[in-house]
Amino acid sequence: MSEEVLVSVADGVLEVTINRPEARNAMSKAVAEGISAAMDRLEAENDLRCAILTGAGGTFCSGMDLKGFLAGEMPIVPGRGFGGLTDWTPKKPVIAAVDGFALAGGMELALACDMIVAHTDAKFGIPEAKRGLVAGGGGVVHLPRLLPRQLAMELALTGDPITAQRAYELGLVNRVTDGPAIEAARALARTIAENGPLAVAASKAIIRDSWLWDVAELNAKQGPYIAAVFMSEDAREGATAFAQKRKPEWKGK
């Protein structure tokens, strides 16, 4: 894996760090491939319960590396999109820990994660229009689903950023912290990692996939997602641990 992406593991949480601080962590092809490879590891290793995606040097990601773009490089992984994450999602949760700027593709990358924790001084925006471009990594299609249309329009057409607090008020950010975003993200990740992994994965899948379901089919369509969970060893272990007033020992099966 490229040194432009650093990976570490602690307490069942995979931490993935974009390591191009000299370029404000602008997305290169190598970084996109590194993030994609890290997500493969998240999927493959049963002991990993969730991931945190962050940036080195006080910035999350300033978007596409325009120097690379001018040289003909696109920071996209086939089938996975910008940064290896905007066109798909792993089964396990991914938390974005945002310090500094999450701009253009950087904001789209954060939105591709399942949750966002941000430092109070962080800024979010899709300034592509200021550069004659369009936020094609999901910004102009996902923001209207997450925000009132008028607010999505403002972000896309002005290109102006918003603060972490404003993003929190709009429901784009889960938590705002005065300390490093990674610390608050670790606390959130630890809480998730303590829960049943099958239940977490099924819950994530239903929340994401149900965006496309007809309202009349919601209860029926979730059935296949949860049937295996209720029949699992983990479900029995969870109930037994509760009765015995102890911490459950999850097996992921």
Separation of alpha carbons 55 and 35, rounded Å: 12
* 22 assigned to active site: no
128 is catalytic: yes
Angle between helices 233-243 and 218-230 (to 10 degrees): 80
Residue found under tokens 């965006």: 211
Which has the closest alpha carbon to 88: 141, 44, 138, 25? 138
**Contacts (Cβ under 8 Å, ≥6 apart) of 120:** 164, 165, 176, 177, 178
Q: Are 252 and 193 in contact (CB under 8 A)?
A: no
Contact criterion met (CB below 8 Å) for 133 and 82: no
Q: Which one is catalytic: 3, 108, 154, 237?
A: 108
Catalytic residue among 3, 22, 128, 217: 128
First to last CA, the chain: 30
Which residue do the tokens 């904001």 mark?
Answer: 107
Burial grade of 1 (CB within 10 A; 0-12, 13-18, 19 or more): middle
CA distance 31 to 76: 9
Instruction: Answer whether 35's CB lies under 8 Å from 29's CB.
Output: no
Residue 111 to residue 74: CA distance in whole angstroms: 19
Residues labelled catalytic: 108, 128
